[in-house]
Amino acid sequence: MTLFSRYMFRQVTSAFLLILLTLTAIIWLATALKQLDLITSQGQGLTIFFQMTALSLPSLITLIAPNAVLMASLYTLDRMNGDSEIIVMTAAGATVWRICRPLIALALIVSVLILAVNVFVNPACMRAFRDLITQVRADLISQVLQPGRFSSPERGLTFHIRDRAQDGELLGLLFHDERDPKQVMSYLADRGRILSNDEGSFLIMFDGYVHRYDAKDEEKAVQIIAFDQNMVDLSKFAPKNDSGSKLEPKQMSFSSLINPPEDENISETDNGLLRYELHERLSTPLYPLAFIFLAIALMGQARTTRESRWGQIITVFGLAIALRVAGIMAGNLVTLNAWAVILVYAIPIGAILIAAWTAHVRMSPELRSKLNFELKFQPKNIKLWTARGVQTG
């Protein structure tokens, strides 16, 4: 890189990092507040809280990074034009591609990092987050329940214990489950114990009753079943969208998306979701480049410092939003039709090519006045230029 390129690269990189960290911190804080119930209502510690929120950071950064690149490039181009740095470089004969080479280099670096995060880091974090949720729910009764308090780890599920013995045995156990819209169940037991092994965590209850009734029954006829010993698998209290050990598309590795396991029954809808996730990971890194070329096409040319550039900045933001919305719509269409994969890549690549062509065409000098028009089309009539006007023959 030349001295000017290194200087501009430092400027745009500093702006990018500042914007990325600021936006990530704001959105992370808003997201983290939703997990505060782990501490306030479910009794988990700060370690679990920070682990859960930290695992969501990679996906958050990949979402924010293209926008941070766009804002950093617009800020840098506007500031350097206002300081006449771009004007001086243009007057020295530098083309828009030579001036904006550091911006393209930054976009390439960000695109490669987003691709690496999408392919390797994000799926691993999603799987770790899933395992952490499972661990929290498995330890819910043994660590969270406090004697005399009603605890609701999720909507429609309520636990209560009268006391806890010194050996950890639960005394006076009650839990009520009304998450199933068809059937409501309540378990009452004199005592219970938590058993954990390689197969999972289980709640073993002794000397109790099960109260069960049909939720759609107007009379609410209750069936009461007595038991000496009953065992409940705590893994069934995972969220309803948790389908056992089956991974969601965002949690699957890149190789699993390309070649799904043959032992799983995959419906047409599942195939569409897998196809969407695969191409979303590969197409997202194209948007930093598309945003950079949009900024170069409209902001890369030198302009007088008296000319306001807010109209161009707003135009770039509008085009970037429209481009991203079009990409999201194409991604949703992929879940229904395989041919829409072409659109997923054609939208950002087409934007890059059109913006690059526009930036290249705008490097040509523009005719600004009637005098220039006459100079181009009627050169023989122009004899002399003086301060008082034009003398013609």
Model pLDDT for residues 346-390, shown as the tens digit of each residue: 999 999 999 999 998 887 655 455 445 555 555 554 444 444 444
Across the beta sheet with 150-154, what order do the strands follow?
150-154, 157-164, 170-177, 183-197, 200-214, 223-233
φ, ψ of residue 160 to 5 degrees: the values are -155, 140
Burial grade of 225 (CB within 10 A; 0-12, 13-18, 19 or more): exposed
pLDDT tens sequence across 302-325:
887 777 788 899 999 999 999 999
| CA max distance for the chain | 118
Residues 3, 336: Cα–Cα separation, whole Å = 51
Nearest to 210 by CA among 184, 240, 237, 179: 184
First to last CA, the chain: 52
**What own/partner pairs with CB < 8 Å and gap ≥ 24 does 180-185 have?**
180/215, 181/215, 182/214, 182/215, 182/216, 183/212, 183/213, 183/214, 183/215, 184/212, 184/213, 184/215, 185/210, 185/211, 185/212
- 285 has pLDDT over 50: yes
pLDDT at 393: 45
Higher pLDDT, 296 or 249: 296
Nearest to 19 by CA among 66, 52, 54: 66
Q: Which two tokens stand for residue 192?
A: 């219970």
- 391 has pLDDT over 60: no
- Percent of the chain past pLDDT 70, that is, above it, reads 79
Residues 59, 57: Cα–Cα separation, whole Å = 6
Burial per residue of 88-120, b for 16 or more beta-carbon CB atoms within 10 angstroms, e otherwise: ebbeeebebeebbbbbbbbbeebbebbbebbbe
Nearest to 190 by CA among 210, 170, 164: 170
pLDDT at 144: 58
Q: Is the dihedral of CA 239, 243, 249, 250 positive or negative?
A: positive
Report strand pairing: 389-392 vs 223-233: unpaired
At 214, which amino acid appears?
D
Instruction: Name the DSSP letter for residue 267.
Output: -
User: Is the pTM above the cut of 0.75?
Assistant: no
